[in-house]
Every structure is written in structure tokens, then in C-alpha cells.
Amino acid sequence: RKLKFSFSAKAFTEVFTYSFCSAKENQFEDKDAQGLALQNPMPEEFQELKLSPYPSLIKSIISNQDRFEQIRVFEYARTYHRQKDELAAEKRWFCFAQLKNYKKNTPLESFTQDFLNLRDDVLQILLELNLPEISLERTQISYLHPNASLVAKWEGKTLFELGYLHPAQQDSLGLNQRLLLGKIDFSILLELYQKHIQSNRFHAPSVFPEDKIDISLVLDEKEPSEAYANIISQAQIPEAQKVWVHDIYSGENLPEGKKSVTYRVQLVTYDKTFSGKRIQEITQTLVHLAKDNNLQMRE
């Protein structure tokens, strides 16, 4: 209920789909997968219990892709998996997807920003559940775009995945636009939630004004943008409360194959007002971190 409320508050619409699908749809995540077949399937598209929550969610989007400028949907879904000499194992997922009707020649930065925005929406929703910090990692999943996908892990377990649908899948399904989709492993989420539900994570806000620093780097177009953000986080600058990608630009004044990434660092202090000298010191630290890691500053 908490997840449904939070996703609805971010303009997502809940959908309900059948627990059945075709044998072909059951191979969406694994080409060798075999689902549990019904004895008398009717119609053929509902001949097996589904192994993945994605195909039915995507079908609901395809049937509406020409009717809306933007589609954001979620579903609390179940999948059913074979077990030796036992009843099928039921798994529960909270899956979600977003599709926009982009105009022709939409810059790549728009797709990147949409990916980051959806990532931040999911992280914010999980934060509202009082969950601990989770780590984000790039990933390679067969049905997701190799350069635009990630997983969130907690104690080595994958809590959720997120990414753009692989172009090959997009073409085969007849999608007109790039589709963002992800799923939360509900059993792991429930374990995590129950473990930390009683934790007190409240921090009194600072009475001193916040500040921020923007720093821009020139990266290869295919180079991941999160690397420098992770470097800043690992540097453990006391006042650096949060760092994120604020803007991505490519075009004039940049060499071919390059992009400019602007990182915004939120600064918070709890004992005194920021001085110009301290802001300058932190700025120099950020510059040195970039240079020490062979990253090019944008002039």
C-alpha cells in the first residue's frame, strides 16, 4: 500500500494484468526458460503462467502508446517458477515503466535526464520507507540497454533493477519510443523494510544556510557519468551532503564524441555558516579529485 501510494503520488497509474502469457513471452528474460503450461489453454496467448512481470506490462503500454504524451504505469505482479517435485514457487514483484512520445531529433541528453529522474524517483520512494543506504551498480542484463541500466543492491542482494529496454526488444515488440522499465524484488524489499521499520533515521535540519558547488567535466559520450559522483562520495568531504548529475550537454564548443557533465554538490554544515574560504577549499578538493582520476575539467 505504501509503494502504491508513493508511485501514484508521482503520476504513475496502476494496471492489472493476467497471470498468464504465451510461451514466447515467457522467454523475455531468458531464452531457454520454460513456464508452467495450463492443461487446456484458451486462448493461445494465455497458455502458461508467467515467468516475468514485464511482457504483460509492456503490452498495456503498447496498446496506449499513441494515446498519451507520457505513460507511467506500475503493477504489483506475481510470477510462477518450476521446482523439482514441488509446487511452483511464487515470486512477487513491484514493476514499473515509463514511455514518452519524443519528437524527432530529441537530443540524447533528454533520454539520459529521464533515466536519472526515474532513478531518483524510485530512490526517494524507498527512502520514504525508512530503508538504509543501498548501492547502485551498472549492470549487463540481456533485455536492457547495455549502456543504460543499473541495479540497486543491499548486502549482496539485488533490490531493484532499472534501465531502457534493449533496442532489439523494442523493435521486436513494435514500440515506437524508448521504454524505461524496472522491477523491485518484493521479498527482499519486505525483508529490508521489516528489519529497519523501527529504526530512527530522523536528523534535525541544519539552522545554517545550505550552499552548493557546480563542477563540469568533459567525458566521452559513452563514458558513465556516475563515476565522478562516486569518487566524491568516497572522498567523505564532511559538508558534502549529496552529489548528483545536474546537467548533461553535447554539441557546440565540444569535440566530437564528447559530452559535458555538470555535477552539483549540496553542502550542509551544522555548526557554523559557510565562509568563502571553506567554499574555495572544497572547490579545490573537487578539482583535485577530478585531476587525480585523469578527468578533464571543462573550461
Q: State pLDDT tens for residues 39-84.
A: 887 787 888 999 999 999 999 999 888 888 899 999 999 999 988 7
| Cβ partners under 8 Å of residue 10, min gap 6 | 72, 121, 125
Identity of residue 230: N
DSSP conformational letter for 37: B
Which pLDDT does position 193 carry in this prediction?
84
Residue 252 has pLDDT above 90, yes or no: no
DSSP conformational letter for 208: S
Residue 201 has pLDDT above 80, yes or no: no
CA 191 to each of CA 1, 115, 150, 188, 269: distance values in angstroms, whole numbers, following the listed order: 16, 27, 21, 5, 34
Which pLDDT does position 149 carry in this prediction?
92
Which pLDDT does position 129 carry in this prediction?
81
Residue 222 has pLDDT above 70, yes or no: yes
Residue 230 has pLDDT above 80, yes or no: yes
Which pLDDT does position 184 carry in this prediction?
95
Contact 70, 99 (CB under 8 A): yes
Spatial separation of the C-alpha atoms in residues 181 and 118, rounded to whole Å:
9
Spatial separation of the C-alpha atoms in residues 127 and 121, rounded to whole Å:
10
Which pLDDT does position 203 carry in this prediction?
66
**Burial class, 28, CB count within 10 angstroms (exposed 0-12 / middle 13-18 / buried 19+):** buried
Residue 116 has pLDDT above 70, yes or no: yes
Mean pLDDT of the chain: 88
**Is the model more confident about 17 or about 227?**
17
Which pLDDT does position 145 carry in this prediction?
93
Query: Mean per-residue pLDDT for 140-168?
Result: 90
Tell me the range of 67-76, 118-127, 238-247 where mean pLDDT is highest. Answer: 67-76
Q: Where are the alpha helices (DSSP H) in the chain?
A: 2-9, 54-62, 108-128, 167-173, 186-196, 226-235, 276-292
**Is the model more confident about 114 or about 127?**
114
Within a 10 A sphere around the Cβ of 242, how many other Cβ atoms?
Answer: 13
